[in-house]
Amino acid sequence: MPTTSHIPDSIAAGALAVALIGPDGQRRRAIASEVAGWGNGAIQEFSSYPAGNEELSRLRADNYDVLIVDLENDPQRALELVESICANSSATVMVYSAEVDPVMVIRCMQAGAREFLEMPLEPGILVDALIRASVRHRGTSPSQRTAGKSLVFLGVKGGSGTTMLACNFAVSLAQESKQSTLLIDLNLPFGDAALDLGVSADYSTVNALQDWERLDPRLLSTFVVKHGSGLSILAAPGKFIEFQASNEAIDRLVTVARRSYDNVVVDAGSNLDLTDTAMFKEASTVYLVMQFGIPELRNANRLISQLFPPNDTRLEIVLNRYTQATMGNEEAQIAKALGRPAQWRVPSDYAAVSEMQNTTVTLMEKDSRISRIILQMARTAGGVTVTSEKKKGFRLFGKA
């Protein structure tokens, strides 16, 4: 099975032992050249997939740190090899192919592969993957990290502006905290987070929830899309899909997300079915979004009574679209009806919100009364202290 051995008698401290498996010699040599050029990996090449359990057992027994497998020559056999290695080893498995089929990419990640390498390789792609493998090999894998914070936005009634607040809050939190931040759109089936932020996603929250039993940080990473601010987004489907997620699936999604990101912002919309999940019990903060009105006060009172014990500091009431003229009276009635005041008051600015929805330019890119409040919310959640703020203009990311 082996063709060429580059493994020295004594591997340098910190170097990775790499097994390269691929029947196509040209593709295999291209990969081997990249690994050799990195200079921190000892390579052994295999010109065929292991034949039978005996060869497979020997391959696992050699305790390679990284296995790089040719997917294109025999996809089914390669997938079986990946799944077997990942089920019985802590090695990092990568696959490579000149054909990029989104369905096959997902199958590879489900089997346990951590990296999908497209041939021909772009400069630095494989080296970056090997560096990530080296970090995992030193024992700092995502599964060992401290769980990130979850911050849930829930509207007491449809049309409360929950998505607008969650999107802009998440963008601001990602920028202000300098921490990895994920926005999950659980406002199914009609979530608009991706639309509001102007991103297009190939995969959605439904993909993650459908395969929840196999979901891990590796698979989750294939479903998210990146926003220009640095925020990661797990979007709702772009078209209507009839799908009812179980509580177990939702809890698994949020748990895996917290293993992968420092901050997980959830746009729950006004989906009250989600209140039966563990998401609200484990949340760092729940932002209950409402406008002033009798139906909103009634719904908020019921939700608070059901979900939060008295004096629960995790709950923060956000009064959206308030007007200064009636604020004093509204605040008093809210405090009386809910047994606590509104912690955040987001002013009404129809023109600014309409511009965001029509142009996909976030509110946080311009200075406004709304953006200042959301910025303060994000800084509070992220523990960001600002002692002095003398700015000529307001800019969160991109050009002024």
Average pLDDT for 294-321: 84
More confident residue, 45 or 306: 45
Using left for φ > 0, alpha for ψ between -120 and 50, and beta otherwise, residue 212 falls in alpha
392, pLDDT greater than 60: no
Do 85 and 77 form a contact (C-beta atoms < 8 A)?
no
Do 229 and 362 form a contact (C-beta atoms < 8 A)?
yes
Q: Beta-carbon neighbour count of residue 127 at 10 Å?
A: 17
363, pLDDT greater than 90: no
Helices H, strands E: what count in the chain?
A: 15, 14
**What is the model's pLDDT at position 395?**
44
CA atoms within 13 A on the CB side of 336: 8
**Dmax over Cα atoms in the chain, in whole Å?**
81
Q: Of 48, 45, 50, 44, whose CA–CA distance to 84 is shortest?
A: 50
**What is the model's pLDDT at position 129?**
87
Percent of the chain's residues with pLDDT above 70 = 88
Quote the DSSP letter at residue 11. Answer: P
**What is the model's pLDDT at position 137?**
67
- Write the pLDDT tens digit of every residue in 330-360: 777 777 888 788 889 888 877 777 777 777 7
Cβ-based burial of 178 (10 A; exposed 0-12, middle 13-18, buried ≥19)? exposed
Do 160 and 167 form a contact (C-beta atoms < 8 A)?
no
**What is the model's pLDDT at position 400?**
33
Mean pLDDT value across the chain: 82
Strands 232-234 and 225-226, by their bridges, are antiparallel
More confident residue, 247 or 159: 247
Query: Which amino acid makes up residue 380?
Result: T
Average pLDDT for 4-19: 55
Cα(197)–Cα(327) distance, integer angstroms: 30
Quote the DSSP letter at residue 140. Answer: -
- Write the pLDDT tens digit of every residue in 90-147: 789 999 999 888 888 888 888 888 899 999 988 888 988 888 888 776 554 444 457 8
Do 56 and 50 form a contact (C-beta atoms < 8 A)?
yes
Q: What is the pTM of this model?
A: 0.64
Q: Which domains does the chain have, with CATH numbers?
A: 2-140 (3.40.50.2300), 149-382 (3.40.50.300)
State whether residue 97 is helix, strand or coil: strand
Strands 181-185 and 315-322, by their bridges, are unpaired
Using left for φ > 0, alpha for ψ between -120 and 50, and beta otherwise, residue 360 falls in left
Q: How far is CA 237 from the centre of its chain?
A: 15
Q: What residues are paired with 151 via a beta bridge?
A: 265, 285
pLDDT band with cut points at 50, 70 and 90 for residue 20: very high
**What is the model's pLDDT at position 192?**
87
- Write the pLDDT tens digit of every residue in 159-170: 888 999 999 999
Quote the DSSP letter at residue 47. Answer: S
More confident residue, 311 or 200: 200
Cα(36)–Cα(5) distance, integer angstroms: 12
Q: How far is CA 400 from CA 355, 372, 392, in A?
A: 17, 17, 10
Helices (H), the chain: 25-38, 52-61, 75-88, 102-111, 125-137, 162-177, 193-197, 205-210, 217-223, 247-260, 279-282, 294-307, 327-338, 350-359, 369-382
